[in-house]
Structure formats: C-alpha cells, structure tokens
Structure 1
Amino acid sequence: MGVLKFLALAAVAVAAPVEERAKKPKSFLKEVGNSTWVLGNQIWNVTQNRQYANKLFYKGSDRVGKAVGHYVSYNGAASDLNWTSAVIADSGSDWINVKFTAKEGDFHWVIYDDLPGAYQYFVNHALPTLGEFRTLWRLDNASFPRGRTNIKDGVLPALDEYRGATNVQDETWQKADGSFLTKYDWSAFVRDMDFYGVYGDEVGSWYFNPGKDYYNGDQLKQELMVHRESKTGDAVQLNMIHGTHYQALSRDVFADGKVWGPWLWYLNDGSKDDAAKRAEEEEGAWPYKWFEDKAYQSRGKIQGKLILSDGRPAAGAAVFLGDNNSNLSTLDQGKDYYYTTYADSDGKFDIHDIRTGTYALYAWGNGGKIADVTTNFTQNEVVIREGKNTNLKDLTWKVTDKKDRIFQIGDFDRKTDGFKLSGPTPFEHGRISKCPANLTYTVGTSKAADWCFGQALNGTWSIVFPVKAVPSAAKLTVSLAGFSQGTSATVLLNNVKVGNITSASLVNSQDTYRGATRAGEWRLLEFPVTKEGLKQGDNRIDVKVEKASQWRGWLWDSILLEGI
C-alpha cells in the first residue's frame, strides 16, 4: 500500500516557505489506553474501542448515544473485526491517515482538518472466503429518525411498532392491521445509488461511494442500505461493500492487498440538498488523485460496438466488465473489480477509469429494441492497459432467428418490468402474494400487464396460444428474474409434462421472501418440445404450482415458445 500525498503540494514543496512546510494538521489520533483511541478534527471526533466506535461527537452531542456505533464485520454480525493497534500511517499539512489494524486487514480513516467526516477504505490481508463484508454505523435514533436512498425516503419505523407486531420471518413483522415491517423494504440497486444515509432535523450521516468498482455484482446487484434495528431501535447505516442479499451464490476469495474504497462518510445538518451536492462533487473527483496507490491509479478505458448476428445494433444492451474465464454469473462475481454501462442506440459503449488487468466483457438484453434476444454475449481476455484505450471495435453477438417464434410474454431484460404489480417501487414484503393463484393469458388478446410479476401460490397459470403450422421441433424458454426455494411447479404442454420449476434444480436466492419485486438472481430454463407435443389450432401451456411456501416462488422475466 502506498502513502497518501497531495500531488500539487508535493510539486512545490521545495519552494514553500519554512513556516508553511512546518505546518501540522489539526486532525488527530490519541491513544487513551486500554485499546481505546480518539480520532477526528475540530468538527467531530470518534472514540474507537477494540471493536466498536461507541461515541461520535458532532454539533455538541454524542450521536451514538445508547446505540452500538461504528464497526467492521464479515458474514453478518458473526465476525466483527478487533483492532490491535492504531497509528497515523501518513499525514500532510491539513490531513492525517489513521490506520487501524486487525488480523484480517487494515481499516483507514483519512481525516482532513475542515471535513465533517472522513474518507475510509479497507486493505485486505487475511479475510476468509466470505459472502458478506461491511462497515456500518448504528446511531442514536433520536438524532437520526429518517432514512434516505435513491428510491425511498421517509421516517424509519418506531421501535414500539416492532414490539406490537408478530415476527413472521427473518427481520420481518406483521402488524395488527395486516401490514408488514421489514428492514428489506429499505434495499436498493447499489450501482444506481447516488447517496444514502440517515438524518434528522439537525444532523445527517451519509455515505458516498463514487466509482463503485470494488462492489460485487452487476447492474442488478441489490443491497440493504439503511433500516431500524428491531431490538434496540438504533438507526442503521450500512456500507455493504461485499454483499449477499438477493443472491444465490456469493463466496469469494480475495487477494492480499485488495482494496475496498475509498468512499466518503459525511456529516451535515441533515440537508439532503447539501448531501446531493457533495455526492456530485465526489463522483466528479473519482478516481481520487490523492490516493497514491499504484494499482488504484493504474487505469485505462475500453470501447466497442455490439452488433447482433441478424444485423441489428444491440441497442441499450447491459454491458458488464468482469472476471476473465469465469463460470459464475455476473451477479455472483465479486473477487476483484467490476464496471458497468449500457450500450447506446447504435450498440456502442465505452467505460473509463478501469483498473488495469485482464477481464471478460459480458452483455445481455435490457428490453427495448432487443427485448426478443434470449442469448448473452461473452468475450474473454480483454486487456486493459494503463493510459490506453482498448478498442474492441465491432463485436458480433449471436442470436436466434425470430421468424419461428410462436409467442413471447415479457421482455428479456432479467427484470419483471411491464408485468402486473411489478411497480411502482421495487421492494415490498408480501406483494408476491397479491398475484393470483390462477391466471389465464391468451396470446393475441392479453397484454404483458395481464401477467403478474411473480408466482408463489398453489394454482395454475395458463397460456392459450394458436399454432398455424406445427414445427418439426420446438423449445420453451422460461426466463426467471429471481427464484426462492420452497415453491415448485410442473410445466405442461397440452396436459403433457415438458419440465418443471423446482428447488431440486435451482439454488435459493433471497429475493421473493425479502420483498424484491423487480429483480433477483436471474435463471434461464430451456425445455425441448417434440412435434407431437403441439397441434394446429389452440394449444395450452400450464405452469402448475403443486407445492407452495409463503412468499417463496419466482419472479418472471419472460416466457417464449419457438420452433427450432
């Protein structure tokens, strides 16, 4: 790990007056004994113990109060990091870099004299294979009664609401009026996030994560951001820098020296406008020039153009730069660094400020003009060199011929968009139970909005469709935007089984029972259909749920029948 320096200051240090060179920062770290330290500046300060930072003084008050405070942990709360030492690892005329060391790695606070908050980052040395790694604040509920993400802003539930409700599953309670309290309704898509935090009338605590290349997962990666702690009432501000919510698999091994961050933890008077302005400034300053780490600063860019094999541009396609030669889904990749964008109307894309290294380029349909594309694109061995532009030029994406399509319901975009009850918000516990047990969709008459976003109840969903000329063979493609184990279905064509949707073949992702309504872990199922399975005239496909568990089932992306 390199040292932090102001590049401009370093350039003129020789010519600076003696008194300017001798200036020392006002930010501080003090050891007070018994594995306890105080760090901060003249605006705020934190008391850090071996495990928790249990005091945060800002604007004349302790903003932790009876809450837990700040800590770093992996695999939930099972393994909190314990700090064995703290030192000022580096400093300048108006900043210090405080390093806390644990056996797993080093956590840094970069504190500027005039900054209400601190830049933070973590350097791995011995983290185990894990799914979840996070930093977080648990703060005083009186100071921070509200939460804000880019899709949800409001008052966090009062602790008394939980005490008067019945626990029905993990961190989910049902109130006497039938409504639910759950922390998962405060989730969001991490790569869409501008800023988030908890706030009140006089104070706000915010996270800004510009760049986001150290996050795991692709464009549809979702995480819990803020919530009310149900047992204590603490206002919780999560920084899930490697998360597992709404995923099936996320177990990664990290190289010694992998860095998460830097991100900015920021305090203000509770103003969302001020936080939004600061978020824009941080995004504009990323990648941070002051962070003098060779691997962090070594970056290049990429560009290219995706053309479908039928000649169409891959307009609006989702583009992901991830692990080279990986057998993991793009959502489940997480050991290194990841970059996302979308192609324009001509299929062109570009990504800037990519860490140098060898990647794979992935792409898939995102609805719109390529809503019919069922295949994905992958190109391995994409090399990013420092200061260079990797121009992949024209890339051919093989797709199937549309002329043999018998019907398609919904866009291929890995999301439930367009289906009944899929909006307006992407998280609501129990909404899947509002979809009907039985449903009939008639091709040529029904529209996508007649098909519900998720299926989780005992019953049968039928698709009635005409066939003019029976193909020699066909294929039924079932694309699921998410799947939670506990509910299974048999898929029948004209009363003959052609496949199933079952826990026996699909691993669990935590989407439907944690209130996801737009996306989760995407799955693609393909079932062959013989010529004898179809007939001229009306045909019927049934998705018959024969075993159901409450709130567990699947989110629909698309269903397609085509001749082959």
Structure 2
Amino acid sequence: MSPLGVQLYIQDRHVVMDNGILQVTLSNPGGIVTGIRYSAIDNLLEVLNDETNRGYWDLVWSVPGSAGIFDVIKGTNFRVIVENEEQVEISFTRMWDPSLEGKLVPLNIDKRFIMLRGSSGFYSYAIYEHLKEWPAFTLAETRIAFKLRKDKFHYMAMADNRQRFMPLPDDRLPGRGQPLAYPEAVLLVNPVEPEFKGEVDDKYQYSCDNKDNRVHGWVCLEPPVGFWQITPSDEFRTGGPVKQNLTSHVGPTTLAMFHSAHYAGEPLVPKFGPDEPWKKVFGPVFIYVNSVFGDGDPFWLWEDAKEQMTIEVQSWPYSFPASEDFPSSDQRGNVSGRLLVQDGYISDDYILASCAYVGLAPPGDVGSWQRECKDYQFWTQADLGGYFCINDIRPGDYNLYAWVPGFIGDYKLDAVITITPAGCDVFVGDLLYEPPRDGPTLWEIGIPDRSAAEFYSPDPNPTYVNKLFIGHPDRFRQYGLWERYAELYPDGDLVYTIGVSDYTKDWFFAQVTRKKDNNTYQGTTWQIKFTLDTVDQIGTYKLRVAIASATLSELQVRVNDPKANPPHFTSGLIGRDNTIARHGIHGLYWLYSVNVLGNLLVEGENTIFLTQPRSTSPFQGILYDYIRLEGPPSPNSNSSKKLA
C-alpha cells in the first residue's frame, strides 16, 4: 500500500503538514514549529514550553559597536509555495523596512518548510537578504533549535563514541546545579537522578567539526522513538571543514547550526556595510524521526539515523526546494585535479598530498577560508594519491584552497575559478604545494595537523568529571583541565628536552596561565632545550611555530636569554577562540616563522623560551599544533624544482 499523500491544513493560528507518517504543526504566520506528532507521542516537542520556545529559527545580531541581540525569527506573512500529494512547501516571511531600524535585523527572511510523501521527517531552509542602502549590521549566529520533551528524551547521540544518558535540564537549576567558572558549565550537586551527582554538564563538550557534524539527536525509550537533525552539506556553513559548532545538549535540545563565532571569536562575525547587498540560503536540513516496533533495540535508532544521513548526503543537492535561490544539480559545477607536495628536504620526488583538505571559497588571501563567514564554501578530502573532486558547486567566483595533514601552512591557487549557472566541469590538473621550508629539520615537536590532540591532556580533577570522556580518545573534553597545569608544575614551568622528552607525555596540551594563591594569574614561560654539535654563526635558522588556537594571548620567543628585551619575536595580542574553556583542542590556525640568527646559538646546549605573558583570566593561552627548528638552507636543496 503506497504512503498517503501530503496534506496541508490551514487554520487561523496554525498550519499543519501531514503525510500519514508524522504531523508537523507551525504557528501562523510566525512559522514556529509548535508540535510534531509521531508514533504514539502526541508531541515530541516540550509541551511545558511556550509555543514560541519549541522549534524555531533564531539569530544574534547587532548594530556595529553595540551588544548582540537575540531574536527568535517570527514570520509576519504565510504563503503556500507548493501543495500537492507529493510535496508541500510553505513559506513564512518577515520583511524589513526603515521603520524597523534598530528594532529588527535589517534582513528580509524567508523561512521554508517542506514535507514529502513517504518521508519520515521534514526539511527546513531559509533565505536571508540584505539590500543595498540598508543599515550596517553584524550577524554573530543563526541556527534552528528544537526543544524536546524532557519526560521522553533522555539518551543523546552525536557520534558512535559520544552518546549517553543525559542529565535533566532541572539538574542545572539553582539547588541542583552549581555554576562553574565558565558560564555554560554546571556541576551537578543534587540531580534528580543520583547517578549524575558530581558530574559536569557543559554543552561545549559535545561540539563537533563541521566535516563530522552530519547527524545528531535524541532517543526516547518508551515508546522507542528517535529525533535526529541531519545536515547533508556544509556549503552554507562558515569557517571551513574544521570549524566547530554545537550539536545536541541537555534540554533536551537539538541544534542545526548554520553560522557561529564559536572557537573563532570576532574574526568569524560577518560585518555588513550599509551599501553591501547580500543573499544567502541556509539549508535545507532534514529533521528525521524514526521508531522501533515490537521488541526491537531502541539503540538501533542511531544506526538507522546514520543510514538516513547517508541517503540525504547522496541526495544533495536536493531536487525539490522550490526557491530559485537554491540551484539544482544541473545548475552547479564540479572541480577536480590532483595536489602534490614538494619539500626537497624530505624527498627528491613530489609527495602525494594524501588526505589533503581541498576546497573552494570566495577569493581571498592564502588561508582566508578559515575566517570567511559570508558566502558559500565547498570542501572535499583528497584520496591517498592526492586526487580530489569537489562536486555540486554553486555558480560564482572562487579560489581553490588546501591544507595537507603532515605539512605546515596553506595552499592557494592564484587563478580565479568561475562556476557558471549552466553547470561546468573544471579540471585544474596537477597542483603543487610548497610548504614553508628554508632548511633541514633539526628537531620538531608534535604533528602538523592543526590540532593539539597529540599532546598531553591530563586526567580531570575528580570533582569535575564527565563520565563519557573517561578513557575516551577525546579526553581533552573534560572540564577544568587548565587548572591541572599548576598542579602538575607547582615549582616551575614546563621544560622540554629534545631527544629525551616525549610530546605525548611531557608537552601539556595548552600553555595556560598559572593560578596564584590570591586568585590572580600569571603568565608562563616554557623552555625547549636542545643540543647543537655545530653552529653556523653567520647563517639564519628558522623556528616554525604553528598554533592550533589562541585566546587573548601573546607568543614571545627568546633564544638563550630569558630576559631579552624586547624579545627576539612577539606575535602581539592574538586570538579570541575560547577553545581552552570550551574543550575544543583547536580553533583558528596561526603560523609564525621566526628568524633565529646563528650568533644567538651556541655549540652544545641551547634553550628557546616561549612566553605567554597575558594573564587576566584562567582561559587565556595558546594551543600549539607543531614546532620545528630548521637549520640554514642547504646549498644543494632542490627547492626550485617545478612541475612540467
């Protein structure tokens, strides 16, 4: 028997989409999802909440120079875009005019919802538009949030190894939860379920890189029902493949994050001028619900959600959205080629850029893609041979960018790649990346992969534990690890000896401030000790420092003189990532190349001093990615070899 056709019911205050599998109710004309009826549950959303606080689009915006304003987007006009037995698409718009200046973000917003025949879920996307001569504004965040029933949904899953029974939202309230030093973290001191007593709950412990943020959600055990948010593409997300975003967290809450400044700060807050027209489509994303019948295992719902996610990814770009602002597959293009690496100090031959991240983003400088936050990006990962194909690219002008795990720096193809609305296939051939390199490696610390995950993350203070991350590969996601530094190094700062120390055990994951007895903080100076048998006194050595994240920090480098003033190098104040406080292990990537004159070095033992002097809070610090000292250039290096 074929599934029932899609029906649309329009009422005075509500609109209902129903395909016989689920029924979705939205406010009219606000476009707030007030109810999702599925299986034996009348409403999957939190019935104790006001209707405007169940399923909604929101954003955070501001006039330049002012504080951010949180705005749940409520439509003022309802339209039916498509209505037949195969598909319903409805629109809730909120149009801006000058009488609203200072009251609402200067955007026309068109929220769309789609239901298809036979589909166990529904889709949502939105079109944001800023017209020329409208006021300037900034957009710090936009997303879809769903608040589920706390009496039903207790088990959360966002990865195979990151899922668990979760505390209740009540456990975070005064009397049951104790706020910790960073506002979002709460110590559960008197939870409803005693098993959670002594744990820390913090939504940022469940953050995820864009490239891995495909499906997450919640499971209800009685009856066994799953609620999942599926994002089939990253094209509308900002900051590239390793930009981190929130997923699901205690509430029970599920988020579809489109744009945020998390783990990046101000550089990822787009600033629109008064004469800057802009339009962007966020989504579509898919809200998927599933169930188990009979005596089936409720935890199978996660496996089924992953299978559905694969189907959605393979179906991208969707053929059914009715907006002309969402181009279909035949209106998009593809770019393919191969990336090679040349480093004459490693190999005389070209090196395959295995597993390189290759992407198209708006034209900009080398590495600008990680701070790009207005338009579309398209990324893929090369195969082991360095071959890549980026598919279904929206029409426009782009630069091709890349970075290669195992090598420092960023690649950019200087030529602009134009994707035409008629669709096109662009073959760029073999591309050659020459990572920064002046001389042979004398020593190195870490792995150049834009993360501090390989370094030492300590066990958490037993007072601040999330049981999920005990013995977990992501042990760095525990709360309060920054405080362990002073405990592990009570009498002096970290000293790392090349050839003796092991960075997986002896290099603390973050150079943080040191807490003093009077609740003040001081900067720290780490030492790298190394021995040189010979020194080229007139040569120039090169210290490469790749930073995985920085928060209101400064990197000062001194060579063999801890009191050199000024230091031999300073980065100045950098970073607003908040990665240390939010357990993210990486944020924005920074690469510094420091000239070290040979006359600063000596035969025998040398010391490089890395100082982070900024010290007004416990959350300031630097996460290193990789450090390398290169000797002076070798006269016979083949660094000038080029592709034919």
Q: TM-score, normalised by structure 1?
A: 0.86
Spell out the pairing of 1:99-248 with structure 2 (5 A cutoff). Answer: 99-103=91-95, 104-126=108-130, 128-150=137-159, 151-163=161-173, 164-167=176-179, 168-175=181-188, 179-201=199-221, 202-228=224-250, 234-248=251-265
Change (3 A) 1:188 1:399: closer
Find the counterpart in structure 2 of residue 302 from structure 1.
Answer: 335
Deviation at 1:316, TM superposition (A): 2.7
- State how far apart, in whole Å, the 2-side matches of 1:287 and 1:165 are: 44
After superposition, what is the alpha-carbon deviation per residue over 1:286-309, rounded to whole angstroms, capped at 9, x for unaligned? 122233546343112111222233
Find the counterpart in structure 1 of residue 364 from structure 2.
Answer: 325
Find the counterpart in structure 2 of residue 394 from structure 1.
Answer: 430
Change (3 A) 1:500 1:178: farther
Equivalent residues of 1:453, 1:555 under 8 A apart: yes
Equivalent residues of 2:17, 2:88 under 8 A apart: no
Q: State percent identity of aligned pairs.
A: 24
Change (3 A) 1:558 1:508: same
Find the counterpart in structure 2 of residue 264 from structure 1.
Answer: 286
- State how far apart, in whole Å, the 1-side matches of 2:480 and 2:86 are: 51
Change (3 A) 1:221 1:173: same
Equivalent residues of 1:173, 1:182 under 8 A apart: yes
Find the counterpart in structure 2 of residue 464 from structure 1.
Answer: 529
Change (3 A) 1:332 1:547: closer
Spell out the pairing of 1:351-390 with structure 2 (5 A cutoff). Answer: 351-367=390-406, 371=407, 373-374=408-409, 376-385=411-420, 386-390=422-426
Change (3 A) 1:185 1:375: closer
Find the counterpart in structure 1 of residue 447 from structure 2.
Answer: 411
Deviation at 1:110, TM superposition (A): 0.8
Change (3 A) 1:255 1:93: farther
Where 1:62 maps in the other structure, the secondary structure is coil
Q: Match for 1:45: what amino acid?
A: V
Deviation at 1:328, TM superposition (A): 6.8
Q: Match for 1:263: what amino acid?
A: V
Equivalent residues of 2:229, 2:256 under 8 A apart: yes
Q: Which runs of 5+ in 1 are unaligned?
A: 1-22, 229-233
Equivalent residues of 1:375, 1:398 under 8 A apart: no
Q: Match for 2:289: what amino acid?
A: L
Deviation at 1:489, TM superposition (A): 5.6
Deviation at 1:273, TM superposition (A): 2.5
Find the counterpart in structure 1 of residue 558 from structure 2.
Answer: 492
Q: TM-score, normalised by structure 2?
A: 0.76
Where 1:241 maps in the other structure, the secondary structure is strand
Change (3 A) 1:341 1:276: same
Q: Does 1:536 pair with 2:603?
A: yes
- Aligned with residue 75 of structure 1, among 36, 45, 60: 60
The root-mean-square deviation of aligned C-alpha atoms, in Å, is: 2.8
Deviation at 1:402, TM superposition (A): 6.5
- State how far apart, in whole Å, the 2-side matches of 1:62 and 1:200 are: 12
Equivalent residues of 1:44, 1:116 under 8 A apart: no
Equivalent residues of 2:559, 2:568 under 8 A apart: no
Equivalent residues of 1:421, 1:453 under 8 A apart: yes
- State how far apart, in whole Å, the 1-side matches of 2:483 and 2:358 are: 33
- State how far apart, in whole Å, the 1-side matches of 2:309 and 2:120 are: 14
Spell out the pairing of 1:413-452 with structure 2 (5 A cutoff). Answer: 413-421=449-457, 424-425=473-474, 427-435=477-485, 436-437=488-489, 438-449=493-504, 450-452=506-508
Q: Match for 2:80: what amino acid?
A: I
